Structure 1
Amino acid sequence: MSKESNQEHEAVEAASRVNEEGTGQRNMKEALISRRKLLATLGIGGAAALTAGIWKGAGATTAFAKDSSVTESVYGQSKKEQAKQLLALLDQHLCLAVKLEELRAEEEPDPLTMYYVTNEGQEGFFYYDPSDSTTADNTGTVLVSSNGKRFKRIYEDTLVASWFGTKADGVTNDTQALQAALNAASGSKLFIPKQRAGYYLTGQLFIPSQIAIELDPGTIIQAVDTLSRVAPAYERLIRIKSVKDVYINGNGATLRMNKAAYTSGEQAHIFDISGSENVVVENINANDSGGDGFYVGYFESTILFSKNIVLRNCRANNNWRQGLSVISVDGLLVENCRFTNTKGTAPQSGVDIEPNSQLDLLKNIRFIGCVAEGNTGRGFLVTLLKPTALSESIDIVFDRCKTKGNSYGYSMNYGGDGAKAAPGEIKLIDCIAEGEQYAGFSDLSFSADGVKRSYIRCRAVNCNTVNQPDDPYSFGSSFILTTVPQQTRTAIGNAVYIDCESVDLRTSPLMKRGFTLRKNKTEIIRNVQYFNCSTRGGGQSLYSIDPVSEDIYAENSPVGVHSFVASGAISLDLIGSQITNAGASGEISLTLPAAKGSVAYTFFVEAPYRLNLVTPSGSTILTPLGGRTSIGTDAAGSSISLLGRADGKWAITGIVGDWLL
């Protein structure tokens, strides 16, 4: 007889003796499982099959790719205890197939007997632990009999939500079962299988520390219609509050609400990450909320920011307030995520970065390859009403992001003056705005004293779709820096545009201006620079610059050329340009604007007629012969470059020919 056959024979004999001696409480012959069958079942049973393979390939490659802190904390589980439990299982004399109800009724269990639970979705092996008299019954991993005996599930390192009694039928409220599964999985891993029919229906769920959660592809989890919208006890579907080391892989699963039930208030979010550290959420949909798809801040947490948060390959669609709200965070990576069709209550943006106080942090925030499309408000919005000069430096980067079909594509709003001006920089690199109702890129009431905005290789394509070329907040422009009446500023500016392009390829072009600086009240505009910016299509002007602008600089390659065939005034719109009299049929005079720091022009005489440059009242051109209010020449081939100074005078920075005759 083989070893395995002998072991099976011994198990059967042992069971028979129990029955024959009358010590058993039930007829166990039909429920008996031999050791050989037990070993075979371990390879194919529902729980065993999941624990054998589901997490083996996850590890460091799917959690923090660049920061292994979550992986180390969650996946670094000791195998010694698992091996010990498995050996204990294999040392049992026999195994009985039972229902959960029968196990809870077992009053005198044998420590040498193994129990295999057969309830659908809850299958698995349990053993009696005579040393434990306190652990609570959670249905999934610990069962307590009517007289207090504890039965422990044998599993590798992954728990399954269905073990805890979830129904996932779209009718039963699974809150208690799901929360029990989450609590039990702290320090380990939890698998949530796809619903049997309908979806998981649940109230608010709290995620514990040191947990890895994986959802079956196609899983749907829907909030009950009664989450609290009453302050201060707001409820959200998923709460990641004041915890560390959380990894959630949705595998394309969807978390959602019945949006029709949440048409008031704005706090019923899908994911609320508050005061937490080392959190990764990836490959998941957060849709149809009564608030935000995702929220990152510190709601109800004593820790006033979250830290090291990653959202990767996530989707937020048809949410009530925002796809994503960012309040306070030190380290946020949002990669390849989509924020679409936000509609309900303001700001109704794809993403809104908006701190609540001067103490909130906006540090090391990176959006890479993200999309915001079809939102009623902005695609990507940064609103800085609350930070001040005492706030920590702001550091936000949008890298290779795209917007389409929003009100504005990217809006940088409301940085304050003076003591209310926060330090730092916001960078937009290789970003595209397409088909926006108004401007592709807007700066609204953003003080020149505060955070610098840098636009690098950004492109606006076919924007201004509502065709309102004189709208005060977009002015028919692809890129605009201006104010809104309710947020007045002493000065706006501190922005740089490098290699940016305004494109209008429509058969009937709607774009009027590429780059605009516009005053709406009493503010001045200062410290704005343009390097190699351009327009393409539509007959749009390159610049539209308000005369109040100061410290404005433009440098273009190739340099733009503008011809005057008759006398006229030179506007700031022509900064950085070459201005000629080509086509003139006689002498002309060009009146310079008031000299401003950094404003530069170059003038060429191409037609053989005198070209005069005249200063406005109170201004002069500095020459070796003293200040002049007018200079000129008729010698073809002559040129002169002028640079405005802060004292209101024009300096000659280059000259060919005699302009002083």
Structure 2
Amino acid sequence: MKMKVVSVVAALSGLAFATSEKGVEHQWAHPNLVAKVASGELSEANVSWWGFDQKDSTKYIQAALDSKARKIVLDKRESSWITRPLFGRSNLTLVIPEGVELCAKRGEYRKQHDMMLMFTAATNLTFTGGGTMKMWFEDYTNSALYAWSEWRHALAFHSCSDVLVENLRIIDSGGDGIYLGRKGKIYTNSDVTIRNVFLSRNNRQGISVISADRLLIENCVMENTCGTLPMAGIDFEPNSPQEMLRDIVVRNCIVRGNHGSGFDFSVANLNSSSPEISVLIENCRSEGNHNPLKFHRATDAITRFRGAVEFKNCVFNDANRTWDAFRSKSRLTMSVKFSGCFAAEPDRGERLIPMGADCGWGRVEVPTWPDGKPFKLEATPLPDLTKDRVTDASPGVPVRLNPIYIRNHVQYFLYADSARKINLKALVQPVGGSKFEYCKFRLYTLDGKLIGMVSLKQEFRKEQQISFDVPERGFFKLFGMVVKSHAMTLVESDVPVALVASSFYGLPGWSTLPGGGYIAVPEGSRRFAVLAQGGSGDEMVRARLFDPEGKCVWDEDNVKRSKLWYSPEKPRVGIWKLEALKATKGFMDDYKFAFFGIPYQLFLSKEKYWQR
């Protein structure tokens, strides 16, 4: 009898209890309509059918996203829709009508990867309506209120397909306005259109393109990005060789007032196994940005990424109107072409001039020897017991190593004098504010057979032992991987070990702290060269090189763009020392070295090495 009374009271009040598709009981505003959506009778729904709360509508919006409705309308209410992080699914059209605002709940989004609306491996998605997605940039960039993060994106897609985003305003995110990333073994987003979207004052990028195949961005504005590097209008930045920038068109867009570049390309993580780059930027305007465009670390010709980027009928009229728009250029990799483009001439006021052969932007430069021949940069050759002579005065005795802090991926060669347990020590240095998730080292034979794997404990700055039982005397390959862009290094070893360049990972990405190593120059060596290069923004390094007698032959401070040192025609035979130190200006973060004329083989101890 009591149950009947309760039911009558609930019915008279116009409310009823319902259970969401995740099994959590809620009191929906319009349970009959919600029930019709659940049964499939209705395929379109207003979020207000589930409910509305001026302070926090997360449970209602998420319930609508979890429902069977194919079209969801965030209908206009008396105030903004306030939400914590949301998660979407496939086969969804989300409409945010003009005058409606989906707003991040202030004081939330405490985790570094909290995003306003995220989709993973989803397909058939549409976002439209003319409304606004807003976050709280001024809070996330206030270190007194929030831990640092560059990943509090407004709208994020990981490995999604058949996506349309149009007629929206996306402002004030703690990361990117729109992020096109990748999750798991689905290496790209495909068939994505972003049209008539206004993106303003986002923390890191207006749009980040990590991986995309068949992407169209048109009639969009990306402005006033500031806070965390690169601070670009659009950033093209794959994180691994499996990702891609293929069949991408950016048309009729404006990038303006961004504290970094209008268009930013950081493609050094691609290599010869990656799909060819194909990007067309057409009828676009870059104005008032710190730089119009940048190509980062493209001198890493060892990666041999292929393809083309073309700027067609574009105008560049930016705050920093210099011709040095390319950082680190290489004809050995992709081509960069300008056709029908105009740029502001720094010596002639605001007048725009055609970009032709006499304009520095149109030339893709490559380092050359003094006789004009181009450098060739290749992967480090495999060591060979029949050709390489090992120097190790105390086999099996650990020695301290010169630390070289490497981000993301690293490859070493090492030599074991016999079948035994070899012992090394490693540590992980934090970069940014991300937590320690994992760092793994794998040892392989030279022909690719896995010998063993060691995972480090999740402790920063702690030296941890990694040991492997090698089956025989010989050379081996050691691969290291750390996530969240932290930096790892070896600090001790009882075997000779060398940092090398990999045809898969490219040049090692030095980071965060000073480092250095030793170059073995054997008899009969011919002229070689060393290249130093800073990172983006004000990331600089001081490079020093010492010959076998201990004489400093190169001391280059405040290295930002590529700087080269050439040896004599007949360099001194012996062990040379390379040092990376903090520069007088800027700050030390990402930097790199490359070697020409000799293999990239940097030994971590002068007591244990080999040479051919």
Q: TM-score range by the shorter chain?
A: 0.5 to 0.7
1:442 CA displacement: 2.0
1:451 CA displacement: 0.5
For 1:206 and 1:134, locate their aligned partners in 2 and report how far apart those are by CA, in whole Å.
Answer: 13
Aligned residue runs from structure 1 range 439-450, under 5 A: 439=322, 442-450=325-333
Aligned partner of 2:355 among 494, 497, 500: 500
Determine whether 1:285 maps to 2:169.
yes
SS at match of 2:131: strand
SS at match of 2:169: strand
Match of 2:114 in 1: 235
Determine whether 1:252 maps to 2:100.
no
> Deviation digits for residues 408-451 of structure 1, max 9, x if unmatched?
21223322444312011111111111143133782221211001
SS at match of 1:443: coil
Match of 1:165 in 2: 51
Cα separation, partners in 2 of 1:428 and 1:523, compared to 1, 3 Å: farther
Gaps spanning 5+ residues in structure 2: where? Answer: 142-147, 375-612
Match of 1:373 in 2: 256
1:154 CA displacement: 9.3
> Deviation digits for residues 594-650 of structure 1, max 9, x if unmatched?
xxxxxxxxxxxxxxxxxxxxxxxxxxxxxxxxxxxxxxxxxxxxxxxxxxxxxxxxx
1:386 CA displacement: 0.9
Aligned partner of 1:273 among 134, 137, 157: 157
Cα separation, partners in 2 of 1:136 and 1:267, compared to 1, 3 Å: closer
Aligned partner of 1:403 among 286, 290, 305: 286
1:27 CA displacement: 13
For 1:150 and 1:433, locate their aligned partners in 2 and report how far apart those are by CA, in whole Å.
Answer: 54
Match of 2:198 in 1: 315
For 1:157 and 1:391, locate their aligned partners in 2 and report how far apart those are by CA, in whole Å.
Answer: 41
For 2:263 and 2:130, locate their aligned partners in 1 and report how far apart those are by CA, in whole Å.
Answer: 24
> Deviation digits for residues 22-59 of structure 1, max 9, x if unmatched?
xx97999xx9xxxxxxxxxxxxxxxxxxxxxxxxxxxx
1:141 CA displacement: 9.3
Aligned partner of 2:73 among 191, 204, 227: 191
Determine whether 1:349 maps to 2:227.
no
For 1:134 and 1:321, locate their aligned partners in 2 and report how far apart those are by CA, in whole Å.
Answer: 34
1:214 CA displacement: 1.1
> Deviation digits for residues 296-315 of structure 1, max 9, x if unmatched?
011x5442211111111001
Cα separation, partners in 2 of 1:356 and 1:515, compared to 1, 3 Å: closer
For 1:422 and 1:446, locate their aligned partners in 2 and report how far apart those are by CA, in whole Å.
Answer: 13
Match of 1:179 in 2: 62
Normalising by structure 2, what TM-score?
0.53
1:104 CA displacement: 4.6
SS at match of 1:419: helix
For 1:453 and 1:519, locate their aligned partners in 2 and report how far apart those are by CA, in whole Å.
Answer: 11
Match of 1:424 in 2: 307
Contact 2:337–2:362 under 8 Å retained in 1:
no
Name the structure with the higher strand share. 2
Aligned residue runs from structure 1 range 323-338, under 5 A: 323-338=206-221
> Deviation digits for residues 294-353 of structure 1, max 9, x if unmatched?
11011x544221111111100110111111111011121111111000111111111110
RMSD over aligned CA atoms reads 3.9
SS at match of 2:215: strand
Aligned residue runs from structure 1 range 197-212, under 5 A: 197=79, 199-212=80-93
- Aligned residue type for 1:500: M
Match of 2:246 in 1: 363
For 1:346 and 1:446, locate their aligned partners in 2 and report how far apart those are by CA, in whole Å.
Answer: 20
Cα separation, partners in 2 of 1:464 and 1:445, compared to 1, 3 Å: farther
Cα separation, partners in 2 of 1:523 and 1:357, compared to 1, 3 Å: farther
Contact 1:438–1:464 under 8 Å retained in 2:
no
- Aligned residue type for 1:246: L
1:260 CA displacement: 1.7
Contact 2:153–2:179 under 8 Å retained in 1:
yes
Normalising by structure 1, what TM-score?
0.49
For 2:250 and 2:37, locate their aligned partners in 1 and report how far apart those are by CA, in whole Å.
Answer: 48
Aligned residue runs from structure 1 range 448-597, under 5 A: 448-463=331-346, 500=355
For 1:134 and 1:394, locate their aligned partners in 2 and report how far apart those are by CA, in whole Å.
Answer: 42
Gaps spanning 5+ residues in structure 1: where? Answer: 1-23, 32-95, 106-132, 468-475, 480-498, 503-511, 528-661
Cα separation, partners in 2 of 1:150 and 1:398, compared to 1, 3 Å: closer
For 1:359 and 1:526, locate their aligned partners in 2 and report how far apart those are by CA, in whole Å.
Answer: 32
1:252 CA displacement: 2.3
Match of 2:270 in 1: 387
Name the structure with the higher helix share. 1
Kindly tell me the number of residue pairs found equivalent between the two proteins. 362
For 1:436 and 1:305, locate their aligned partners in 2 and report how far apart those are by CA, in whole Å.
Answer: 34
Identity of aligned residues (%): 24
> Deviation digits for residues 274-297 of structure 1, max 9, x if unmatched?
111111111111111111111101
Contact 1:464–1:478 under 8 Å retained in 2:
no
- Aligned residue type for 1:348: M
Cα separation, partners in 2 of 1:395 and 1:513, compared to 1, 3 Å: closer
> Deviation digits for residues 548-604 of structure 1, max 9, x if unmatched?
xxxxxxxxxxxxxxxxxxxxxxxxxxxxxxxxxxxxxxxxxxxxxxxxxxxxxxxxx
- Aligned residue type for 1:280: L
For 1:238 and 1:453, locate their aligned partners in 2 and report how far apart those are by CA, in whole Å.
Answer: 35
- Aligned residue type for 2:45: L
1:526 CA displacement: 8.6
- Aligned residue type for 1:222: C
Determine whether 1:213 maps to 2:94.
yes
Contact 2:159–2:187 under 8 Å retained in 1:
yes
Cα separation, partners in 2 of 1:441 and 1:431, compared to 1, 3 Å: farther
> Deviation digits for residues 340-370 of structure 1, max 9, x if unmatched?
0011111111111011111111111110111
SS at match of 1:311: strand
- Aligned residue type for 1:380: F
> Deviation digits for residues 162-220 of structure 1, max 9, x if unmatched?
011122x3xx111111000111144x1111112312x1111111111101111121111
SS at match of 2:298: coil
SS at match of 2:325: strand
SS at match of 2:152: coil
The one of the two structures with greater contact order (alpha-carbon pairs below 8 A, sep at least 6) is 2
> Deviation digits for residues 469-510 of structure 1, max 9, x if unmatched?
xxxxxxx9999xxxxxxxxxxxxxxxxxxx7369xxxxxxxx
Cα separation, partners in 2 of 1:515 and 1:365, compared to 1, 3 Å: closer
> Deviation digits for residues 231-275 of structure 1, max 9, x if unmatched?
6xx1100101111111111x3211111112101321111011111
Contact 2:96–2:132 under 8 Å retained in 1:
no
Contact 1:229–1:265 under 8 Å retained in 2:
no
Match of 1:648 in 2: none
